[in-house]
């Protein structure tokens, strides 16, 4: 009875102090689930809900590995499988087929082989064009997403890289005329075995190599300086060591890029990055082949 009387004597102001609902912090509403598929103008959301929508979009874009795309789309299930089979690896196989044809022309046509060896300036020109296109596709992603510019740039890039690889094969065919074809075929077989093994490892391993991008980039810059030194102080042992290190580096990059394409890791490619995906896998394979060939040449010397 005494307690009931005390409750009856509480004023409305004191009752509001003790029984008011706790105020919700807008920062907690930042992570609430919202529908981001509806247009912003169709539904009038409160201000804190709009912040939640923007944060959700930015979190998706931050999962991209090199650029932000406003039309970013997460790939799930069969979409990721179709992206891998129909887009990336189909284009990459066509690139490798064009490169193989150019190397075959170097082997069959003596005039084409002599032209490449006598005019080495075209090799440097092809190298410069390929580097420019590669930087353009990486640094200005709209060129990698817009059709048909992305296909045109990738085709020119493939021709330049194919010319460089065929130029290296022409040197081997001319220097080792008796067994030059066997040396190139051996390098291609070793490269194929390495690519298959590393791809299977990238698919089966539980390690996330997509977080090692900074480490790989540091290794690239270090090997670049080492390559300049190897070119100035030309010695067979230094070139052999440089080629072996490059084989290891491009093998690691093959695992890294394969996991970017397969998804299921920290960083991944989106549906618009099929040109980037095919280009990076192609670079890993052809330069792995080139450095394996250089290792064989250094061993024969």
Q: Which of 21, 41, 57 is the last residue of a domain?
A: 57
Count of domains observed in the chain: 2
Does 64 reside within a domain?
A: no
Beta-bridge partner residues of 64: 268
Residues 44 and 101 in one domain: no
Does 210 reside within a domain?
A: yes
Query: In the structure encoding, which two tokens stand for residue 75, read together?
Result: 């790939």
Residues 26 and 175 in one domain: no
Q: Is it the case that residue 61 has pLDDT exceeding 80?
A: no
DSSP for 159-181? HHHHHHHHHHHHHHHHHTTTTHH
Q: What mean pLDDT, rounded, does the chain reach? A: 77
Does 295 reside within a domain?
A: yes
Does 68 reside within a domain?
A: no
State mean pLDDT over 22-30: 47
Residue 171: Cβ within 10 Å count:
18
Residues 159 and 217 in one domain: yes
Residues 26 and 132 in one domain: no
Note down the domain range covering 209.
Answer: 81-300
pLDDT tens-digit series, residues 242-287: 889 999 999 999 999 888 888 767 777 777 788 888 999 999 999 9
Does 136 reside within a domain?
A: yes
Residues 199 and 284 in one domain: yes
Helices 110-118 and 89-108, packing angle to 10 deg: 100
Residues 120 and 205 in one domain: yes
For residues 92 and 276, is the Cβ–Cβ distance under 8 A? no
Record the pTM. 0.72
CA–CA distance, 227 with 37 (Å, rounded to integer): 50
Does 286 reside within a domain?
A: yes
Q: Is it the case that residue 18 has pLDDT exceeding 60?
A: no
So what's the pLDDT on residue 268? 75
Half-sphere CA count of 102, side-chain side, radius 13 A:
20
The 3-class SS string of 48-116 reads HHHHHHHHHHHHHHHCECCCCCCCCCCCCCHHHHHHHHHHHHHHHHHHHHHHHHHHHHHHHCHHHHHHH
**pLDDT classification of 72: cutoffs 50, 70, 90:** very low
Residues 20 and 102 in one domain: no
Residues 127 and 240 in one domain: yes
Residues 131 and 247 in one domain: yes
Residues 236 and 146 in one domain: yes
Phi and psi, residue 268, nearest 5°: -155, 160
Residues 149 and 281 in one domain: yes
Does 66 reside within a domain?
A: no
Residues 257 and 296 in one domain: yes
Does 141 reside within a domain?
A: yes
CA–CA distance, 90 with 236 (Å, rounded to integer): 38
Q: Which of 149-153, 176-180, 273-277 is most confident?
A: 149-153
């Amino acid at each position: 009875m005494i307690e009931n009387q005390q409750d009856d004597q509480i004023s409305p102001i004191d009752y509001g102090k003790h029984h008011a609902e706790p105020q919700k912090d807008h920062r907690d509403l930042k992570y609430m689930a919202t529908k981001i598929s509806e247009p912003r103008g169709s539904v009038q959301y409160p201000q804190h809900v709009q912040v939640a929508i923007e944060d959700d979009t930015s979190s998706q874009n931050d999962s991209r590995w090199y650029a932000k795309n406003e039309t970013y789309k997460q790939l799930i299930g069969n979409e990721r499988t179709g992206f891998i089979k129909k887009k990336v690896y189909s284009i990459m196989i066509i690139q490798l087929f064009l490169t193989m044809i150019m190397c075959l022309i170097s082997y069959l046509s003596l005039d084409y082989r002599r032209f490449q060896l006598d005019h080495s300036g075209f090799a440097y020109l092809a190298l410069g064009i390929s580097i420019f296109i590669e930087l353009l596709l990486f640094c200005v992603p709209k060129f990698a997403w817009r059709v048909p510019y992305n296909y045109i740039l990738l085709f020119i890039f493939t021709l330049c890289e194919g010319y460089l690889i065929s130029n290296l094969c022409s040197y081997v065919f001319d220097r080792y005329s008796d067994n030059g074809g066997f040396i190139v075929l051996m390098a291609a077989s070793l490269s194929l075995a390495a690519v298959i093994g590393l791809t299977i490892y990238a698919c089966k391993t539980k390690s996330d190599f997509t977080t090692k991008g900074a480490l790989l980039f540091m290794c690239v810059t270090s090997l670049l300086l080492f390559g300049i030194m190897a070119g100035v102080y030309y010695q067979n042992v230094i070139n052999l060591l440089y080629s072996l290190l490059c084989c290891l580096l491009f093998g690691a990059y093959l695992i890294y890029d394969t996991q970017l394409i397969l998804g299921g890791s920290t960083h991944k490619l989106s549906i618009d990055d099929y040109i980037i995906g095919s280009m990076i896998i192609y670079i890993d394979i052809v330069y792995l082949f080139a450095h394996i060939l250089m290792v064989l040449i250094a061993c024969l010397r």
